[in-house]
Structure 1
Amino acid sequence: MLQSRDAIIKLTDDLVEIESVVNTKGEIVVATHLYEHLKSFPYFQQNPDQLIISRTVNDEIERYNVLAFVKGTKQPSSKTVILMGHTDTVGIDDYNHLKDKACYPASLMEALKEEPLPELVKQQLESGDWHFGRGVLDMKSGVASHVFLLQYYSEHPEELAGNLLLLAECDEEDSSHGVLSSLKDLKKWREEHGFEYIALINSDFVAPRYDGDPNRYIYKGTVGKLLPSFYITGYETHAGSAFEGLDPNFIAAELTRQISYNPDLCDEAYGETPVPPVSLKQTDFKPTYTIQTALSAYVYYNFFIHTWSPKQVLGMLKEQAEIAFENALTLLRDRHRRFCEKSGQAWTPLPWKTRVLIYEDMKKELVAEHGDAFLSHMRQFKEQLLQDKSLDVRMFSARVVEEEVKWTKDRNPAIILFYSSLYSPRIELVGKDEREQNLITALEEAVEAVQPHYPHPIVTRNFFPYVCDMSCVALSDDEEGILAIEENNPSWGSKHYVDYRDIRDINVPCINIGPYGYDAHNRFERMEIAYSTEVVPSVTDEIIKRLLK
């Protein structure tokens, strides 16, 4: 095991003390700090062109990535291993009255001793074996581990037959502008230096999978994330004549009941099952109170995938939406009939029918029907909408659909299905080529070498279970799957664009070896010191040695 504990804790604290909340100027400060730290290494003073601080592209916010590489001198080799980690964090408001201490681990831990704490948190705090603070787990200790290894090899390049490259990226917690921008730098360096990217080791946090779970996990590949979104049109009516219209919120509620927490929508693969979809937003578009029902509603869901393609998911969710729509209408018809009986009114059948459209199909119909007039109008509409900086990409997409619906001749209630945000691609690492086989073998041997020095089981699994930037360095989807993303995102090419060709071009096998702890994104965020500062760099180092021997 490496003697790395004290150095990595210090590096972690140095980074944590910079409040680098995503989408704030703190992202600039932490990147600048890290750049200056690396710049102080004698190696980079002698090789300044091997260290850069690079601004993100196509980004409304100013922020930077830091990239650096060490060229091994053991023997000439183009083989290059990438160490990746993000320097941004989520916010600190959840620390409440301890907010001013959130980024100062020593002060925070002293203050927490005076707080009422859950029993497990209290035990771990008192043990001295855990380190608390915003970003210590997610994931500045992971970045510190990578920096520690980069520094070591900058001082001992003769031990490397190949190259070690550090990518410290921004904006992981929101839209992945950092890693997506870094692909340009990685491609440039590949062309300039002849790099062959053979593996990427990310160091995002890992956590127990269930209460009492003794395992520390290393992940091959990662879960994919989609944001399927549903714009629902109803038929407005006065609340005093409720059955004369169709409330889109009523349909939205049934849609959420059908989709949220539904295990039938879990993409089980290789014996692993991601959590089911869950609603992340449900609203209507009434700007103020009126006595009328809403004209439209909007709902979107987190959706994790292991092997399904974005195109497959659209087909599945169209079926789910049709079931939900029909269930809503069946319930509505029953309640209407019962109301008529109770009130003594004459019953007449309601006119509504199930109607679900996939966005791509709706848009093709509108183009065929209205041609350039529709396309020109929507270009102008999007240009104007871009001026509203309060709209995130999800609400921007909904507003685009809302405008396009106005061009439809059939104004009957409908559910329109689309994607409204970044697609984080799934990655399978199964040994399908030599690079994957070599990385898997190196990982297995590294765990075997380190496990005797650590009391808890180190276990490998196939899919990192949270969204992370590994999704942006390799691509398991075919062209048809990616086209489904492009054709079904209303903000594509205006508010949102990803050049998936860049990802496919880099396409490096990746794994995640990250700090272990609890409560990332929570005020009790903490890492286990021994695993995070000793096991993580040691396993990573063993892999580097095997891949660049």
Structure 2
Amino acid sequence: MHQCREDVLAFTKQLVNTESIVNTAGEKAMAHSLYKIVSEFSYFIKNPSFVTLAQTIDDIHERYNVLAFVKGTKGTSNRTVILMGHIDTVGIDDFNQLKDQACFPEELMKMLKHEELPISAKEHLDSGDWLFGRGVLDMKSGVASNLYLLKYYSEHPEELDGNIVFLAECDEEDSSHGILSALKVLKNWKKEHGFDYVAAINSDFVSPRYAGDVNRYIYKGTVGKLLPSFFITGAETHVGSCFEGLDPNFIAAELTRQINYNPELCNEAYGEITVPPVSLKQTDLKPSYTVQTALSAYVYYNFFIHSWSPKDVLDKLKEQALIAFKRALASFDERYKQYSAASKEPYVELPWAPRVFTYEEMEQLLTKEHGNAFVLHMNQFKQGLVLNEELDTRMFAARVVEEAWKWMKDKNPAIILFYSSLYSPRIELTGKTSREQALIDALDEAVEAVQPSYQHPIVTRNFFPYISDMSFVALSDNEEGIDAVSKNNPGWGTKHYVEYQDIRDLNVPVINIGPYGVDAHKKLERMEMTYSLEVVPNLTNLVIRKLLA
């Protein structure tokens, strides 16, 4: 095994010391700092065009990716392995009075010795084998591992029959502008240098899956993530005559009861199962207090997938929404009857029936009813709305649906189902192509070689369980699956757009070999140094060597 611990640790600290919170100027500073580090390797002094600082495309923030490559001289192969990792982090507000030390591990750890800590964190702090600080785990130690390998091969290109590409991308923690922009550079290099991308190795962090789990995980492929969203309309009334209207919050509550934590909505594939959906927002769209019930409500849920497509998810959730709507109306009716009996006021049969549309269905209906007038109006509305930078993609989508609803002739209560955010595609890596099989074989052999020298089990699983930029280097969905995303996202083409064809063009099998630790995104974020600084670079290196032998 390479004795790389001290080198990778030095790179880790150097990267962590530059604060690079997503959507701040720190991302730009981080990219410039990293570009400077790489540019000063002797290989890149001789080959300055082999390293680039590439600005993101169609992005309201000025930020950059750093990409570099080493061309092997051992043979004439064009096989190329991409080493990728993100350089942005989440914020540091949770560090409170230790904010100034958040990006300086040594100083932070000295201060933490005087804090009251959970037992495991205290043990880690005292062990001498754990490093604390924002970004040490997620995921600057992973980038440092890749940086070490880039430097090594820049000094020993004669050991490579093929090439390695180093990619450090920004904006992973928010909207993936980094990786989506980097695809353009990777495609250009493919054309210009004839690179044949055979594999990508991501270096995002891994954690225990449950309390007491001692495994260190490596992942083939990744979970997909969607944000199914529901615009719910009711029938407005004065709260003093509450049964004359239908509160959309009542339907929203029933919908959340139906969808939240529902095991029926877990997607099993290859013996692995996603966590169920959970609500990330639930609100009505009343701008201020009045004694009228709300006109509409808005909810959205996190939704992970392994084998389902975005279209499958719409079909399943339309069914769930219908169940929830029926239950809400039945419950409303029962309570209304009880109230009528108690108050001696007459009961009137409910005038509403459950209605659920996808955004695509509503748009088709309105285009059919109103023709070009509706299409023109909505295009102008969206163009105007884009100027409001305070609206994120999710609220933008809700406002578009709200505007379209005004054109509905039948204003009876309804649920409109749509997507309001980025779709991070799922990736299955099963060995169905020779490239996939070659990567799986290389990984299995690498684990077998390294395991005897490391005390904890190194275990391979099929789906990386968190959102990551792995989602944007390959595509397991067909056209129909992707169409379900573009046709059902009201912000598509104005507030939000992804060139999924770029992903399809690259389509490289991807695995994740990353640092191990706990409490990512939290104040006590920390990584185990032996695994992260020694095992990770060596495992990654063995996979490279098997693929580019």
Settle same-fold status: TM greater than 0.5: yes
Partner-residue secondary structure (3-state), 1:368:
helix
User: How far apart, in 1, do the equivalents of 2:23 and 2:440 lie?
Assistant: 35
After TM superposition, the structure 1 stretch with the greater mean CA deviation from structure 2, 207-216 or 95-104, is 95-104
User: How far apart, in 1, do the equivalents of 2:274 and 2:125 lie?
Assistant: 31
Identity of aligned residues (%): 67
Partner-residue secondary structure (3-state), 1:18:
coil
1:182 maps to what in 2? Answer: 182
1:329 maps to what in 2? Answer: 329
1:168 maps to what in 2? Answer: 168
Amino acid at match of 2:475: L
Partner-residue secondary structure (3-state), 1:465:
coil
After TM superposition, the structure 1 stretch with the greater mean CA deviation from structure 2, 341-350 or 288-297, is 341-350
2:265 maps to what in 1? Answer: 265
1:423 maps to what in 2? Answer: 423
Amino acid at match of 1:426: R
1:132 maps to what in 2? Answer: 132
1:30-49 residue CA offsets vs partner (Å, 9 max, x unmatched): 00000000000000000011
How far off its partner does 1:390 sit?
Answer: 0.4
User: How far apart, in 2, do the equivalents of 1:284 and 1:9 lie?
Assistant: 49
How far off its partner does 1:505 sit?
Answer: 0.3
1:9-39 residue CA offsets vs partner (Å, 9 max, x unmatched): 1111111111100000100000000000000
Superposition map of 1:141-540 within 5 A = 141-540=141-540
User: How far apart, in 2, do the equivalents of 1:341 and 1:100 lie?
Assistant: 65
After TM superposition, the structure 1 stretch with the greater mean CA deviation from structure 2, 252-261 or 336-345, is 336-345
How far off its partner does 1:388 sit?
Answer: 0.7
Partner-residue secondary structure (3-state), 2:301:
strand
2:3 is equivalent to residue 7 of structure 1 = no
Amino acid at match of 1:155: E
Partner-residue secondary structure (3-state), 2:148:
helix
CA RMSD of aligned residues (A): 0.6
How far off its partner does 1:383 sit?
Answer: 1.0
How far off its partner does 1:58 sit?
Answer: 1.0
User: How far apart, in 1, do the equivalents of 2:407 and 2:9 lie?
Assistant: 59
Listed as ranges, the gaps of 5+ residues in structure 2 are none
After TM superposition, the structure 1 stretch with the greater mean CA deviation from structure 2, 352-361 or 462-471, is 352-361
How far off its partner does 1:97 sit?
Answer: 1.2
1:222-264 residue CA offsets vs partner (Å, 9 max, x unmatched): 0000000000011111111111111111111110010011110
1:189-214 residue CA offsets vs partner (Å, 9 max, x unmatched): 00000000000000000000011001
Partner-residue secondary structure (3-state), 2:446:
helix
Partner-residue secondary structure (3-state), 2:80:
strand
Superposition map of 1:113-128 within 5 A = 113-128=113-128
Amino acid at match of 1:505: D
User: How far apart, in 2, do the equivalents of 1:347 and 1:413 lie?
Assistant: 20
Aligned length: 549
User: How far apart, in 2, do the equivalents of 1:316 and 1:63 lie?
Assistant: 38
After TM superposition, the structure 1 stretch with the greater mean CA deviation from structure 2, 237-246 or 221-230, is 237-246
How far off its partner does 1:374 sit?
Answer: 0.7
1:22 maps to what in 2? Answer: 22
2:87 maps to what in 1? Answer: 87
Amino acid at match of 2:411: R
User: How far apart, in 2, do the equivalents of 1:488 and 1:137 lie?
Assistant: 36
Amino acid at match of 2:415: I
2:108 is equivalent to residue 105 of structure 1 = no
Partner-residue secondary structure (3-state), 1:222:
coil
User: How far apart, in 2, do the equivalents of 1:254 and 1:2 lie?
Assistant: 57
Off by >6 Å, runs of 4+ in structure 1: none
Amino acid at match of 2:353: K
After TM superposition, the structure 1 stretch with the greater mean CA deviation from structure 2, 341-350 or 442-451, is 341-350
1:431-481 residue CA offsets vs partner (Å, 9 max, x unmatched): 011100000000000000000110000000000000000000000000110
Partner-residue secondary structure (3-state), 1:62:
coil
1:154-184 residue CA offsets vs partner (Å, 9 max, x unmatched): 0000000000100100000000000000000
1:329-364 residue CA offsets vs partner (Å, 9 max, x unmatched): 111111111111111212222222111011101101
Partner-residue secondary structure (3-state), 2:272:
coil
Partner-residue secondary structure (3-state), 1:327:
helix
User: How far apart, in 1, do the equivalents of 2:77 and 2:411 lie?
Assistant: 64
Amino acid at match of 2:24: T
Partner-residue secondary structure (3-state), 1:70:
strand
User: How far apart, in 1, do the equivalents of 2:126 and 2:337 lie?
Assistant: 64
Listed as ranges, the gaps of 5+ residues in structure 1 are none
Report the TM-score when normalising by structure 2. Answer: 0.99
User: How far apart, in 2, do the equivalents of 1:106 and 1:261 lie?
Assistant: 40
User: How far apart, in 2, do the equivalents of 1:223 and 1:382 lie?
Assistant: 31
How far off its partner does 1:3 sit?
Answer: 0.9
User: How far apart, in 1, do the equivalents of 2:523 and 2:226 lie?
Assistant: 27
1:44 maps to what in 2? Answer: 44
User: How far apart, in 1, do the equivalents of 2:347 and 2:189 lie?
Assistant: 73
How far off its partner does 1:96 sit?
Answer: 1.1
2:69 maps to what in 1? Answer: 69
User: How far apart, in 1, do the equivalents of 2:444 and 2:436 lie?
Assistant: 12
Amino acid at match of 1:160: L
Report the TM-score when normalising by structure 1. Answer: 0.99
Partner-residue secondary structure (3-state), 1:369:
helix
After TM superposition, the structure 1 stretch with the greater mean CA deviation from structure 2, 66-75 or 7-16, is 7-16
User: How far apart, in 2, do the equivalents of 1:40 and 1:318 lie?
Assistant: 56
How far off its partner does 1:393 sit?
Answer: 0.4
Amino acid at match of 1:197: Y
Amino acid at match of 2:357: L
User: How far apart, in 1, do the equivalents of 2:118 and 2:337 lie?
Assistant: 52
User: How far apart, in 2, do the equivalents of 1:435 and 1:21 lie?
Assistant: 36
Amino acid at match of 2:202: N
Partner-residue secondary structure (3-state), 2:268:
coil
User: How far apart, in 1, do the equivalents of 2:361 and 2:340 lie?
Assistant: 38
Amino acid at match of 1:273: I
Partner-residue secondary structure (3-state), 1:423:
coil
Amino acid at match of 2:145: S
Amino acid at match of 1:152: Y
1:513-541 residue CA offsets vs partner (Å, 9 max, x unmatched): 00000010010100000000000000000
User: How far apart, in 2, do the equivalents of 1:482 and 1:250 lie?
Assistant: 32
Partner-residue secondary structure (3-state), 2:213:
coil
User: How far apart, in 2, do the equivalents of 1:344 and 1:115 lie?
Assistant: 64
Partner-residue secondary structure (3-state), 1:511:
strand
How far off its partner does 1:310 sit?
Answer: 0.5
User: How far apart, in 2, do the equivalents of 1:57 and 1:400 lie?
Assistant: 24
